[in-house]
């Protein structure tokens, strides 16, 4: 009796290869965010693991944004018909020129507004200052311009109102902001304005917000002033528009960049969670976008080899969650797992204030 030993061996080998291919295909089709370890909770919003394309305005993520928004604003009044310099402590002063405002519709500084010019009377100025990376997270104003990475030297939200109506700068009028930053000034910062699609205070969260450079792209002036035995340093920013204003500069566009993905447990979805990434060597914060197909949060243009900190903030029911992960050396297209922990609102804010 003759046995075809060679044929039997080939069939076994082919069978093994087939099994390996099936396992490989199964692994490739698996989502980045899996349901492994999911624990159901009776009558609890933690059970909701559904991601959606269009997050409604009443979703927890919007309530979270309004809750953590940076509210420490300076408020003062001034006479619209007179020049005035308003000082807030020893590190910020605002120079206002007489007859510089109008009330009506249109964008401040665009020349397209209509309405009457309030030539006299009192107006109120509200100034919100954002300095640290944590401030930019709390304000939901990441440092990018249409996807290009920016490094900041502080920003401001400035609003002027009279009798409950918001005023804007007339064309060719300016507002001078002189301030000391939390770092020594550099010579190549430029003026940027915030482009809003969902204007504050309607909601703090504006996914489409981006920073737009002033048409005058010259450098912001810096100053050094002796005060007793010490020296005061800072910027002299000339603003042609109100609302969101910042001093920014583009990061090196020639540096090799990559994509990153943040993976959270299934209970943390794009309806209740926002993930940010803070660069270590630059005062730069980016908001990660939700990726429905992989149930993860992602960002591109992250510098290769950079040290970063991923920060997830969530509101599920009445509870807040905070997750952090330090990455010392960003590689190419890497997935990072974050394990959020339940925190009080005060603990979340304390962490952001330390960032």
Residue 268 has pLDDT above 50, yes or no: yes
With cut-offs at 50, 70 and 90, classify the pLDDT of residue 39.
Answer: low
- Tell me what the mean pLDDT of segment 314-335 comes to: 94
Return the CATH number at 303: 2.60.40
Exposure string of 83-105, with b = 16+ CB inside 10 Å and e = fewer, is eeeeeeeeebebebeeebbbbee
Q: How many domains does the chain have?
A: 2
Residue 12 has pLDDT above 60, yes or no: no
Q: Which domain range does residue 79 map to?
A: 68-250
| Claim to verify: residue 173 and residue 277 sit in the same structural domain | no
* Domain presence at residue 332: yes
* Domain presence at residue 154: yes
* Domain presence at residue 26: no
Do the beta carbons of residue 126 and residue 159 sit within 8 Å? Answer: yes
pTM for the predicted model, two decimal places? 0.84
Span 197-219, pLDDT tens digits: 877 777 788 888 999 999 999 99
Residue 25 has pLDDT above 70, yes or no: no
> Which residue, 218, 250, 282, sits at the end of a domain?
250
Which of 54-58, 308-312, 317-321 bottoms out in mean pLDDT, i.e. has the lowest?
54-58
* Domain presence at residue 39: no
Which of 2-16, 87-101, 173-187, 282-296 bottoms out in mean pLDDT, i.e. has the lowest?
2-16
| Claim to verify: residue 277 and residue 173 sit in the same structural domain | no
Q: Is 164 helix (H, G, I), strand (E, B) or coil?
A: coil
| Claim to verify: residue 235 and residue 301 sit in the same structural domain | no
Span 104-155, pLDDT tens digits: 654 444 444 444 566 678 999 999 999 999 999 999 999 999 999 999 999 9
| Claim to verify: residue 191 and residue 277 sit in the same structural domain | no
d(CA 211, CA 228): 38
* Domain presence at residue 284: yes
d(CA 232, CA 214): 27
Higher pLDDT, 73 or 312: 312
| Claim to verify: residue 212 and residue 258 sit in the same structural domain | no
* Domain presence at residue 174: yes
| Claim to verify: residue 72 and residue 189 sit in the same structural domain | yes
Span 63-92, pLDDT tens digits: 999 999 866 789 999 999 999 999 988 899
> Which residue, 181, 215, 250, sits at the end of a domain?
250
């Amino acid at each position: 009796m003759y046995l075809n030993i060679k044929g039997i061996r080939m069939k076994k080998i082919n069978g093994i290869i087939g099994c390996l291919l099936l396992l490989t295909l199964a692994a490739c089709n698996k989502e980045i965010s899996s349901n492994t370890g999911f624990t159901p909770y009776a009558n609890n919003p933690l059970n909701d693991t559904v991601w959606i394309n269009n997050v409604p305005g009443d979703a927890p993520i919007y309530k979270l944004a309004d809750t953590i928004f940076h509210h420490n604003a300076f408020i003062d009044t001034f006479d619209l018909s007179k020049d005035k310099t308003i000082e807030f402590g020893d590190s910020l002063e605002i120079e206002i020129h007489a007859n510089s405002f109008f009330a009506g519709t249109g964008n401040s500084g665009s020349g397209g507004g209509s309405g009457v010019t309030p030539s006299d009377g009192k107006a109120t100025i509200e100034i919100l200052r954002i300095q640290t990376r944590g401030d930019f997270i709390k304000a939901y104003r990441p440092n990018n311009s249409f996807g290009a990475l920016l490094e900041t030297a502080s920003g401001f939200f400035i609003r002027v109102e009279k009798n409950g109506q918001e005023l804007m700068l007339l064309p060719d009028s300016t507002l001078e902001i002189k301030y000391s930053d939390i770092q020594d000034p550099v010579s190549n910062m430029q003026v940027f304005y915030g482009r809003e699609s969902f204007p504050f205070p309607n909601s703090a969260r504006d996914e489409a917000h981006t920073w737009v450079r002033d048409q005058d792209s010259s450098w912001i002036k810096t100053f050094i002033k002796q005060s007793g035995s010490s020296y005061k340093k800072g910027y002299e920013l000339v603003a042609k528009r109100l609302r969101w204003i910042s001093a920014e500069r583009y990061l090196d566009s020639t540096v090799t960049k990559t994509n990153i993905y943040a993976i959270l447990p299934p209970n943390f979805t794009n309806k209740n969670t926002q993930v940010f990434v803070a660069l270590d060597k630059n005062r730069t914060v980016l908001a990660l976008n939700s990726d429905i197909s992989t149930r993860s949060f992602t960002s591109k243009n992250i510098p290769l080899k950079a040290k970063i900190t991923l920060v997830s903030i969530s509101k599920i029911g009445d509870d807040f969650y905070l997750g952090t992960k330090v990455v010392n050396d960003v590689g190419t297209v890497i997935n990072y797992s974050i394990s959020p922990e339940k925190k009080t609102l005060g603990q979340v804010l304390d962490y952001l204030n330390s960032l």
